[in-house]
Amino acid sequence: MNAPLLEVEDLCVDRGGLRVLDRVTFALHPGETLGVVGPSGSGKSTLARAVLRLLEPSAGRVRFRGRDLLALGEADLRPMRREMQIVLQDPATSLDPRMTVLSILAEPITVHRLARSEDVERRATELLRRVELGPEILHRHPHQLSGGQAQRVALARALAPSPALLIADEAFSAVDVSLQAQMANLLYGLRGSSSLACLFISHDLRFAAVLCERIAVLSRGAIVEIGEAATLVRSPRHEATRALVAAARASEVQGR
């Protein structure tokens, strides 16, 4: 097996005297999708932020391509950040309302000097096509987009610097059923067409079960179970996993 892209080891985060992330350890390989599933407050988003070093962990290691991110200074961190991108739950708050779609997509391209200025619009159009949107929205502002379109733009922006790691933090729990399925298909398509590794964070085991090879279950800040998705869903061992499986089964529609 090839070397892991991301290795998280004994990662701990403390907030206000509380340990919100407790010795979290896992590895993610290029092209792999790992699900991080758990109830509200279990530490999922904290994990995402700590991995990206958007908050400072109190102990542990995060290695990306073998380099310890926590030991790097801001200047050394910046080129690594290009390779690690995140899509958040709510596009209404993650997209700048004053910017057009074109400038939203152009920003990461120019910041990381990924294209000449005359090529930026072409690159932006190409990114939109990858998320199945047309160039007609390039000059729109976020408030002129539907919720589904806005979330795709957020995904396109994350893909702009051709990252090696994509973190999807509840990336489609705020959209409608039909749009959730469209987003799931998009992520599925991206996974098949590149070596993009994905950390898929969700409270909904149903999507994680179909999108991810492996799933880690977070409960009270700690990984209580991690394993192959099909096995974990079929024979959950930890109580928290069993509760997630029961909840997912309860929301299934019979006769489908």
Partner 1 sequence: MAWDFDTHLRTGKQATVLRVRDLTVRIQTAEALVLPVDRVSFDLEHGEALGLIGESGSGKTTVALSLLRLLPPGASVSGRVELAGEDLLASDPARVRRVRGRRIAMVFHDPLAALNPVLTIGTQIAEAVRAHQPLDRRQARAATLELLRSVGLADADAARYPHQLSGGMRQRALIAMALGCQPEILVADEPTSALDPVVQAGILALLRRVREERGLSLLLATHDLGVAAGLCGRIAVLYAGRIVECGETAAVLARPRHPYTLGLLQSLPPPLGSAGGLPLRPIAGQPRGARIAAPPLIMSPTRSDGCRFLGRCPRAREDCAKEEPELAEMDGGQVACFHPVEAP
Residues that bind partner 1 (CB under 8 A): 39-41, 91-92, 97, 142-143, 145-150, 176-182, 184-185, 188-189, 203-207, 209-211, 230, 233-234, 243-256
Q: How far is the CB of 64 from partner 1 (least distance, A)?
A: 28
Q: How far is the CB of 108 from partner 1 (least distance, A)?
A: 20
Instruction: Return the number of the residue (71 or 210) whose C-beta is nearest partner 1.
Output: 210
Instruction: Return the number of the residue (91 or 221) whose C-beta is nearest partner 1.
Output: 91
Instruction: Return the number of the residue (6 or 155) whose C-beta is nearest partner 1.
Output: 155
Say if strands 197-202 and 165-169 run parallel, antiparallel, or are unpaired: parallel
Residue tagged 């390779």 (tokens): 83
Instruction: Return the number of the residue (80 or 92) whose C-beta is nearest partner 1.
Output: 92
Q: How far is the CB of 133 from partner 1 (least distance, A)?
A: 11
Alpha helix stretches (DSSP H) within 116-204: 120-130, 147-159, 177-193
Q: How far is the CB of 230 from partner 1 (least distance, A)?
A: 7
Quote the CA–CA distance of 95 and 104 in Å, as a whole number: 8
Instruction: Return the number of the residue (195 or 231) whose C-beta is nearest partner 1.
Output: 231
Closest CA to 20 of 48, 1, 120, 201: 48
What value, to the nearest 5°, has the Cα angle with vertex 27 and ends 218 and 109? 100
Instruction: Return the number of the residue (8 or 244) whose C-beta is nearest partner 1.
Output: 244
Q: How far is the CB of 78 from partner 1 (least distance, A)?
A: 30
User: 85 - beta bridge partners?
Assistant: 166
Q: How far is the CB of 198 from partner 1 (least distance, A)?
A: 13
Say if strands 84-87 and 33-37 run parallel, antiparallel, or are unpaired: unpaired
Sheet with strand 6-15: strands edge to edge? 18-28, 6-15, 59-64, 67-68
